[in-house]
Structure 1
Amino acid sequence: MTDDVAQLTELNTRFIDACRRGSWADLKPILSPNFSYLDGRTGQVDDIEKYAKDLDGEPDPGLEIDQVVVHVDGNTAIVSARAFADTRPGRFNRYLDTYERRDDQWVCIHASVWRIVE
């Protein structure tokens, strides 16, 4: 389990770094081909093609995270953290990414982001 947590923490770092750079090329290997994204603000569900289009070339270099939590249960895991940016002071989001272990590799199958109302 400790190795799983370390692997998932590294994947989470790679995911966030790809978002900071707006790099679909860096993010694509982490995601399942059937990946979906749920926008917690609108309720809209996007497939991988729409997610890629929205991300690629749209860097968010000020994106920061804290409060990272990794929970593993067999071949399923979730990674959650609080996200914020210096361009949006005092405004926080939380995300939840779901991973599945396939052939000894973790892939992200679903992500959701919503605003934390304080």
Structure 2
Amino acid sequence: MDTQSLILALGDATHAGRTFNVMPVAGDDPVLQIAVSGADETPVYLTVTESQILCLVYLFEESEIRASALPELHESMLRISVPMPLSALGKVENHYVVYGSLSPTSSQTEVMQELVTLADNAIDLLQTFEDFLE
């Protein structure tokens, strides 16, 4: 599945009562910003490569974390990462992120499920980690 196919497929799609607002992001690599209805505040960024479909949500920047809370935040992230469905935690430059990946041969339904799950997980994580932030 390529980026253009995803734009066309998701633009009119619904999954579990959710809709998708898909916007291409300007840049060298083809990236889509996808707002999932009901989780509009946590847009998912999606890119397709030969080996995977990568979906990522930016949670917060390192500068937003209370310095004294950093070790406890990292411990909490490690503990939460295992039971969290279809998602993992990581860091991209100075941004903490939640992400998931799929095979590039994944169906449209599988991609939509990942988008909904990731957007919802991001909201849950932001609520869970709010005490660590300034």
Q: TM-score range by the shorter chain?
A: 0.3 to 0.5
Greater C-alpha Rg: 2
Which structure has more helix as a fraction of its residues? 2
TM-score scaled by length of structure 1: 0.36
Which structure has more strand as a fraction of its residues? 1
TM-score scaled by length of structure 2: 0.32
